Amino acid sequence: MMFEVVPLTRHLQASIINCCKMNMNMDPFDEMSWGTLGTIRPFFNFNAERDAQDIQAALEQKDAVTLVKILTNCDNAQRQIIAQTFKNMKGKELITGLKEAVSGELADLLSALVMTPLQFEAYRLMQAMEGIGTDEEGLLEILCTRSPQQLSKISAIYKEDYKKDLEEDLKGETSGHFAKLLVALLKKKVIVGEVQTDTEVLSEAINKAKADPGPWITVLTSRDSDHLNQVFDNLESEKHEAVVEAIEKAFSGDLKLGLRTLVHCIRKPHLYLAQRLDTKKTAIVQGVMVSHSEEDLLCVRVAYLKQTGTTLYTALQRQFKGVHLQALLSICRSED
């Protein structure tokens, strides 16, 4: 069963846009910025024992529709209670049962929903570094959009789940100044600075015959977004070009990608995530939607419509099908 499509009224759209603008002005490193503009909310008539029993029956019958209906109709905290109730009943993890009953991309999506939010982020970081090659953009998405408090917890979960040190893995998978940027993002702390001083430091570093990435890494990973946006405004007035364009000219390779992504996340985080969704790569679409479903997916939907001229709900219908589509639409929730 899919949720009824409920288009947003103009009044509601305007309210969401205003809230998104307010959220974008908040410090992205502050956990209090998260959790107000998600599409997934707690289920009012929640009954963990009933849901666990229904899930068990659905697993036995390989009834993916029922699994999707239950797991997308409650929030993550409620799913954790369901998962523990299921484990108490059956003596095994719910994720194990899901992977035995369904497969492929749907199994990945349902498993993601059952993980805790930060556990899922640790999993995504692990996936980005697993196998041949490294998904640099996948690493950057999480490291650029999560707060220091969140990243500290993600590191601890990563070590507990995978018996490896996240910082060491990042260093092992990358090199040079890009590795330094990733580690600085992982360990970022907000330090008060002077806007004019930081403007001059960044300007001097980028105007050298060979641009010096050190000050850029330091400043961009140790200031809040309001401060950095003022610095960027100053730089753009001084150089008469966007900061990302200056980065394009001054740096190269993965470092250029990293600094450019970080600036995008500071300037317009919801637009950045909308552009990630617009890659139409299944793992990215599922990752962004699940990760932000209880935080700011409404804002991402607004940015997606503005960026592409198409609602996310419609875009999903064009790309996916069957029960997998139903699950994604249930997370997206409605048309815009």
CB 117 within 8 A of CB 291: yes
Q: What are the tens digits of pLDDT across the range 202-234?
A: 999 999 999 999 999 999 999 999 999 999 999
The reported pLDDT for the residue numbered 336 is: 78
Axis crossing angle, helix 148-162 with helix 166-173, rounded to the nearest 10: 90
Query: Percentage of the chain surpassing pLDDT 70?
Result: 89
Q: What are the tens digits of pLDDT across the range 6-40?
A: 455 555 555 555 666 555 444 433 433 344 689 99
CB 314 within 8 A of CB 93: no
Q: What are the tens digits of pLDDT across the range 229-253?
A: 999 999 999 999 999 999 999 999 9
**51-65 average pLDDT score:** 98
Q: What are the tens digits of pLDDT across the range 259-294?
A: 999 999 999 999 999 999 999 999 999 999 999 999
Measured in whole angstroms, the distance separating CA 300 from the mean position of its chain's CA atoms is: 10
Query: Percentage of the chain surpassing pLDDT 90?
Result: 87
The reported pLDDT for the residue numbered 120 is: 98
Q: What are phi and psi of 116, to 5 degrees?
A: -70, 155
The reported pLDDT for the residue numbered 294 is: 96
The reported pLDDT for the residue numbered 329 is: 98
The reported pLDDT for the residue numbered 132 is: 87
- Going by C-alpha positions, the residue among 131, 128, 133 that lies closest to residue 143 is 128
Indicate the DSSP class of residue 33.
G
CA distance 235 to 194: 14
Whether residue 180 has pLDDT greater than 60: yes
**304-326 average pLDDT score:** 97
- Going by C-alpha positions, the residue among 124, 145, 71 that lies closest to residue 297 is 145
CA distance 272 to 266: 9
The reported pLDDT for the residue numbered 17 is: 57
* Token duo for residue 149: 């408090």
The reported pLDDT for the residue numbered 16 is: 57
CA distance 245 to 46: 50
Chain-wide mean pLDDT for the chain?
A: 92
Q: What are the tens digits of pLDDT across the range 70-111?
A: 999 999 999 999 999 999 999 999 999 999 999 999 999 999
Q: What is the pTM of this model?
A: 0.90
- Going by C-alpha positions, the residue among 102, 96, 52 that lies closest to residue 323 is 102
* Token duo for residue 217: 């890494």
The reported pLDDT for the residue numbered 23 is: 53
Q: How many CB atoms lie within 10 A of CB 249?
A: 12
CA distance 153 to 118: 7
Task: Please report which confidence band the pLDDT of residue 131 belongs to, taking 50, 70 and 90 as the band edges.
Answer: confident
